[in-house]
Structure 1
């Protein structure tokens, strides 16, 4: 199976690097600056599960993309999706499978509209990654799970081929028959964790120490309500696990959104928080409650974005 990894940033570089080390046919689609880094330094991953140093990994830039791939792994930020779709369009054929690893849910419809619903798989990853100033990818925890599946949940011949291509490559590759449910659950967790740590500019443990546990649980409940009204209620054991993780005293957990804020970068507030609000079912209870926690978090993070854009002018 010919695999195109769109970008060689933290997520794409990590999973693509693992696949390369496992002998899979992988090519990275990169921009000129990243191409220079890969030619000069190779692909570097520093991980507690084993480092990677892959000299000059196979890579291509959009003008040179002239062949169709079997599997395209998409790991860009949600605000870069339009540009990313344009960049890899030439690699998409009728039988190409696109595996997006983006946060939220809106990207599924956008990919289906730009290409075809038949091209699009569901996917998510559970891993904490960052990049340092040199371009090296830093694996920040000991989890490296990638889940994928048909949006219908069917075990089709193509998804079984994808599972075979991703198996035994140095990370947990989970073929799921309920990938949409799992994506909704992750979205609720990300919206809560990113919303709280981003808005408060602090770790979960810091927020808990300051008396913020009720606020965290209320935000999770609001997100869970949106998921339930959309037909994907959080499973009880999953919600319990989320509540435990998000209320652990002394936890140093933060979201990548906070790290982006601290470096003055763009954030996915519209896609992680804004779209959650857009899907919220308006009810008398919400109307009488005034601003919800979701509304507050959205306003806080949108204000950061407005200031960031103003100061860059």
Structure 2
């Protein structure tokens, strides 16, 4: 199977490098400057234990793409989705499936509208990595898992073939028949934790330790769960228990990538993670006052940054 990974950042770079190490046929669609860096230095992975791996990879730029890929993996920040889709579209032929590992749900709707459900999979990536100052992938915690599955009963590439390509043994890989539920499960947690930590400018433990903190965190989770439930994807009991554990934890240093980007002065995925949840809640008649406040705060940050 020939694979195109769109993006070589903290997610695409990490999982793409693991695919290369496992002998998969992988190209990386990147910008010209990133392509030159990867040609010279390879994909550099810095482990949580300080170890360094250098993986030779094949970068390509948008002007050199052809529709000869079986699997196109989209692994970019949500605010870069439109540009990435435009660049990657020439690689998507009639027998190609697109597998996005982005946050939220908006991108899934856009891909299905563009390519049809039979050429789109859904995907959830869980990894604790960041892009370093010199373009290296920095692992900041031990976590690596992919969950994926088709959105159609008759995808143009069989689920077993996609799973065989992605299951390298170097991270957990799971094929699911209910990928939309998995996407909503992640969105609920990511949105609630992101909204909490970004609005309060603190990890979840100190928030819960503050006066009114646990009520605030509980309220944020309750809003996210209510939207998911109204949309037809209520989190299961395991997910609800996990939410309760986060609300009760007064010592955890847990944050999110959105919090990291905010504190570093970077662009944030406010529209896709927070704003879209608020919009869907409005459409479904679910009040989201806490999420609305978080979205206003993040939107103000983005406007000031611009």
How high is the TM-score relative to the length of structure 1?
Answer: 0.92
Matching residue of 1:241: 242
Q: 1:134 to 1:283 in 2, by over 3 A?
A: closer
In the alignment, the residues of structure 2 paired with residue 208 and residue 33 of structure 1 have an alpha-carbon distance, to the nearest angstrom, of 43
Matches within 5 A, 1:260-271: 260-271=261-272
Matches within 5 A, 1:1-313: 1-48=1-48, 51-55=52-56, 57-152=57-152, 158-211=158-211, 212-281=213-282, 286=287, 292-309=289-306
In the alignment, the residues of structure 2 paired with residue 196 and residue 155 of structure 1 have an alpha-carbon distance, to the nearest angstrom, of 38
Contact preservation (8 Å) 1:127, 1:143: yes
Secondary structure at 2:158 match in 1: helix
Count of paired positions? 304
In the alignment, the residues of structure 2 paired with residue 284 and residue 94 of structure 1 have an alpha-carbon distance, to the nearest angstrom, of 39
How high is the TM-score relative to the length of structure 2?
Answer: 0.94
* Structure 1 residue 262 displacement after superposition: 1.7
Q: 1:101 to 1:246 in 2, by over 3 A?
A: farther
Secondary structure at 2:8 match in 1: coil
Q: 1:184 to 1:154 in 2, by over 3 A?
A: farther
Contact preservation (8 Å) 2:219, 2:290: yes
In the alignment, the residues of structure 1 paired with residue 293 and residue 15 of structure 2 have an alpha-carbon distance, to the nearest angstrom, of 35
| Cα-Cα RMSD | 2.0
Unpaired runs of at least 5, structure 1? none
* Structure 1 residue 68 displacement after superposition: 2.0
Q: 1:52 to 1:34 in 2, by over 3 A?
A: same
Secondary structure at 1:128 match in 2: strand
In the alignment, the residues of structure 1 paired with residue 223 and residue 72 of structure 2 have an alpha-carbon distance, to the nearest angstrom, of 34
* Structure 1 residue 126 displacement after superposition: 1.2
Secondary structure at 2:261 match in 1: helix
* Structure 1 residue 111 displacement after superposition: 1.1
* Structure 1 residue 137 displacement after superposition: 0.6
* Structure 1 residue 155 displacement after superposition: 9.2
Contact preservation (8 Å) 1:229, 1:281: no
